[in-house]
Structure 1
């Protein structure tokens, strides 16, 4: 959203001869089957009927106040953690590492979200008192 991740279009601005395609599918984020299969189990039960893999619709949801409190936190943080996880996975593949099974990446992102909530609670964040209960309720 702030053009900070070196996506294909930015890489091409730096080096016109670079290979800017996704090593998984030649698509960007949720248009990619791998990405969609990572995003779905993390977000579907939070977003419910608003669930989508469309990039622009997800950004609209993130900017809106369609959800309140803990749900809004989880939507935004899960999106952030998913984008970061997918970027790291694609970067690792571009540098010769073996692709991770998508289930492994889902578990890594799930744990990152839970760890973030734990650190907020440890710092005295009372607004997220029932956050872990909510998160586990949204796991399929």
Structure 2
């Protein structure tokens, strides 16, 4: 997964489609996109309805934790083709 940031949603969707449907990086990219959208929506609602907000770093940590929890909940055996998802997540995020 690239480190570049592009705020254009269409570019992001096109990039995900070009990645294909297989591979750990594709799975992680799709999980990350889903988690970012979900947590940004929650943050938007918190700001609008509760007048509270999180910092960018707090959101990053919440999203990272959500991805880790999701990967662990899948319970893939290490010999499964996606068995190294958590290890790959650590490689690309540290």
TM-score, normalised to structure 2, is 0.84
Cα pair distance change 1:70/1:82, threshold 3 Å: same
Say if 1:60 and 1:123 are closer, same or farther in 2 by CA, change over 3 A. same
Task: Specify the alignment match of 1:86 in structure 2.
Answer: 40
Q: Which residue of 1 aligns with 2:66?
A: 112
The Cα of 1:77 is off from its aligned counterpart by 0.6
Unaligned residue ranges in structure 2 (runs of 5+): none
* TM-score, length of structure 1 as denominator length: 0.59
CA-atom RMSD, angstroms? Answer: 2.1
Say how many residue pairs are matched: 93
- 1:117 Cα deviation (Å)? 0.7
Deviation at 1:72, TM superposition (A): 0.1
Runs of 4+ in structure 1 over 6 Å off? none
Counterparts in 2 of 1:139 and 1:65: CA distance versus 1, 3 Å = closer
> How is 1:1-140 mapped onto 2 (pairs within 5 angstroms)?
46-48=1-3, 51-65=5-19, 68-120=22-74, 122=75, 124=77, 126-140=80-94
Deviation at 1:68, TM superposition (A): 4.3
> 2:16, 2:29 within 8 Å by CA — same for their partners in 1?
yes
CA distance, structure 1, for counterparts of residue 22 and residue 68 of structure 2: 19
Structure 1 residue 65: deviation in Å?
3.0
Instruction: Give the 3-state SS of the residue equivalent to 2:66 in structure 1.
Output: helix
SS where residue 2 of structure 2 aligns?
helix
Report 1 or 2 for greater relative contact order, CA contacts < 8 Å, sequence distance ≥ 6: 2
